[in-house]
Each structure stands twice: as C-alpha cells, then as structure tokens.
Structure 1
Amino acid sequence: ASGTTGGGDTSFRRTFNRDEYLEKAKESDRKRREEGEARAAATAAGKKYFRRAETPPDAKDTSHRTSRVDVSSRVGTSQLVGAGATVGRRGKGAGFYCEACDETYRDSSSLLDHYISKRHLSALGETGKVAVADVSMVRDRLRWLCRLRREQRKDVVVNLDARLEMSRANEEKEREEKRQKRNAKRRKTPGGVGIPTVKIENDGII
C-alpha cells in the first residue's frame, strides 16, 4: 500500500540481465548492417535481394551420397495411385517421391535437380557447403582405403578356399557316380565279373 516504509517482497518481479541484452543488441545491429550491405550490393548489380534463411547451429557440411539413386528399376513398370492421391507436387503421388521434403516429381531429371537444391539440403540438415579436405583428412582416407583393400583380399582368399573345397567335393562325387555305374554294369553280367575286354596284339596296325 502507498505510504508504507517496508516496501514489501518484490522477488516476483521480472529481472533483466543487462550484459545479455547488450550482446543481443550488438548481434542484431551486426546482422542489420550486413543485410543492408548485401541489399545495396544487389541493387548496384541490378538484382533483387532475397533474405537468406539462417543456418541451423547443428547443420553439417554437404557430402557425397553413399548410395546410388535407383531410377532405372522402375522403367516399364506401372504404378497404382489411390483416388485420394495428391495432384500437385506436395505429398506422395504418382512419380518419384522425396520423403525428406514430402514432394513428388514426375520424372527422374526433376528428382535429381531437387536432390541438389538448397531446399532439399536444408531439409536434410546440411549447409550446402562442401568441406575442403586437409592433409590429415586425406591421410585418414588413404588409411581407410588400405584397410578396406586388406579386408577385401581376406574375403577373396576365403572365397578361393571355398571354391577349391567345392571343386574337390564335385570331383569326389563324380568318382563315386562312376564307381556306382561300374558296379551296376558288373552286377548285370553273369557271375558279376563284368564284360571281359579282349586285347588283340598289333590291333589296328596294317
């Protein structure tokens, strides 16, 4: 109440950190100044200025795709589209569908153009900038390739041993089949002695 000398408890009032808001004001002034310079440069070049969207702090650099885009497997095939499927680009419809952007493209060329667009890269959480590899990154890549080649060589040796073992098994199987055929022919002859072979001396010599 007015006229009291105690003042009462004022802890419920909102407090402000002057240093924090001073830093925010400086950052806002810096962004405004940079935008003004970019707008003036675009006007001088005869272009229209578009404000660039802010990059998320957890965005990563753009890298190459680890898998190939398969568009040839659908050549000559038919696709069933429901009655409630979308007609425009937004949503899943007839064509090539991008799950990250929830859009459908009519042909593979439009899909590939979309994959390298800024909007698609932003939806994937990428900045659109490619990191320049330094010496340490190149060395790490070469070491990884060496390890991969050694592992592939081990697999080749294992596969070669398996093929040799399979070849031995096939040869043994063929010998067993020939042995069974000889035994079957021998059992069909009187006494089971088989068909005698007559060898004539100087046979075929004139």
Structure 2
Amino acid sequence: MSDKKGSAYGTPATDTSFRRNYDLDEYAQKAKVRESAEKEEAKARYEAKMAGKKYYKPMTGDETHTRARRQIIDLEANVGKTVLVPAGAGQGKRGRSAGFYCGACDLTFKDNIQWVEHVNSMQHLRNIGETGEVKKASAEDVHQRIAEVWERLQEQKKAAVTTLKERLDMREEEANKEREARRLKRQEELAKKKAEKEAAEKVKVEYGEDVRVEGEHDEDDMMAAMGITGFGTSKKK
C-alpha cells in the first residue's frame, strides 16, 4: 500500500523545498520605493503644468552631452511591410501601435513630422541618456574636425578618380578588342580572296588558256545554246 503522506515526486507533501521562496518584506520595500517615486513624479508633473512649463525626466548624472546626429533618419523603413500591433492599440500616443514607434519613450506617432519633432525633443534626449546641452568645442576640437572632414573629402575624391580611371581603362580595352576583331576579319577575307585567285591562276597555268574556270564562260555558253555566234554591225562598209 502506498504512503498517503507521500507526493507524486516521492517526497513528503509537507516538504516545500523545491518551491521558490519569496521575501515578502523585500518586495514590499520595492513596491514602497516605486510608489514613492511615482508620487514624486506626479507631483513634479503637476507643478510643472501649473507653472506653464513642460516636465522632463530628472537627470541622474550619468547623461552625456548631446551630439550631432551622424545617421539619417529612415522614414521609409516600414513602407510595404506588415507590422503586428497589440490588440486595442491605436488609442493615443502611449504604447506601441501602427506608426512611428519610439521604444525609449514608449510612444507612437502617426506622421513623420511629429516623429522628427519628438526625436529632437528634450523628452526623447533625456530618455536616451543625453542632457540636451551641447559641449562647447575648443580650438583644438575645431582643427581636429576640419582635418577629419578634409581627409574624408580627399578619400572620396581619390575613390572617384580611381573609379573613373577604371571605367576609362575598361572602355579602352573593349575598343581595342573590337578593333582587333575587325582586323582579323579583314585578314581572313583577304586571305580567302587571295587563295581563290591563286587557285584560278594555277589551273590556267596547268591546262592552258582554253581551260574553263567556273563562271568564266557562262555567258558564251548561253549565247551558243540560243544559236547566236556573235554580234555584227548594221553599218555597211
């Protein structure tokens, strides 16, 4: 008879060592801190609204200076694509729905103008860890940037010249091949005509002048078959 106090795993039913233990006090403390932060943020938002200002997320000290954007904003990345959105999406900007979605701010915009404005806004910059302030460039930074731009322009110019030279060389090579093909064809035709002429001269030398060369006396044979021996003149002497 099986032990009624045992479990399906062969351990006593009262043994809960395999279960995960939760520290209720720790989770209660985390919830308390989260609620306090949410209340402070709500209060700050309300005070900013009453003062006619816009609320921005407070800085933590780990933010970096805002720098110029190096990449182009791709507004046509999702054109012609099918995107799955959560059920009930499309109500307001909050959350992911159909449109331009910002993962850092959890907002969706319906047109590209609003999207570009949001990407350049202080709200977005704070959420991605930037202060919104631009670092003042020193004279050394300006000289270094000018040197980088000049070097990049020289590389682009060199690449363009090299590419153009390669295209010209390729075109010249193709033209040379075409000229060589025409020259070989002319040589073959001249050699063929010369061989035919030499063969005809050889036949005449071997068999005399009365030998018939193909196509040479076709007109005389036709006149003989018609009973015409020659053409005289109608003039009397």
TM-based fold match above 0.5: yes
Task: Read off the aligned partner of 1:171 and give its amino acid letter.
Answer: A
How well do the aligned residues superpose, as a CA RMSD in angstroms? Answer: 3.3
Task: Read off the aligned partner of 1:173 and give its amino acid letter.
Answer: K
Distance 1:192 1:179, change over 3 A: farther
Match of 1:58 in 2: 62
Q: Confirm or deny that 1:134 pairs with 2:138.
A: yes
Match of 1:80 in 2: 82
Distance (whole Å) between structure 1 residues aligned to residue 109 and residue 196 of structure 2 = 78
Q: CA deviation at 1:121?
A: 0.7
Unaligned runs of 5+ in 2: 1-46, 198-237
Match of 2:124 in 1: 120
- Mapping for residues 166-181 of structure 1, pairs under 5 Å: 166-181=170-185
Kept in 2, the 8 Å contact 1:79–1:94? The answer is: no
Deviations 1:54-85 (A, max 9, x none): 313221111221122232576xx555343745
Distance (whole Å) between structure 1 residues aligned to residue 147 and residue 162 of structure 2 = 23
Alignment partner of 1:162 out of 166, 175, 186: 166
Kept in 2, the 8 Å contact 1:186–1:192? The answer is: no
Q: CA deviation at 1:189?
A: 5.3
Distance (whole Å) between structure 2 residues aligned to residue 83 and residue 139 of structure 1 = 48
Match of 2:228 in 1: none
Distance 1:105 1:135, change over 3 A: same
Distance (whole Å) between structure 1 residues aligned to residue 68 and residue 101 of structure 2 = 20
Deviations 1:82-128 (A, max 9, x none): 37453233444321222333432110011011111222111221101
Q: Confirm or deny that 1:70 pairs with 2:71.
A: no
Distance 1:178 1:130, change over 3 A: same
Higher Cα Rg, which structure: 2
Q: Confirm or deny that 1:95 pairs with 2:92.
A: no
SS state at 1:104 partner: strand
Distance (whole Å) between structure 1 residues aligned to residue 133 and residue 111 of structure 2 = 27
Deviations 1:132-175 (A, max 9, x none): 22222211111212222232233233223312321221112211
Distance 1:105 1:49, change over 3 A: closer
The alignment of Structure 1 onto Structure 2 pairs a total of residues equal to 148
Kept in 1, the 8 Å contact 2:85–2:98? The answer is: no
Identity of aligned residues (%): 32
SS state at 1:58 partner: coil
Distance 1:186 1:105, change over 3 A: farther
Alignment partner of 1:110 out of 100, 108, 114: 114
Task: Read off the aligned partner of 2:129 and give its amino acid letter.
Answer: G
Match of 2:211 in 1: none
Kept in 2, the 8 Å contact 1:81–1:93? The answer is: no
SS state at 2:170 partner: helix
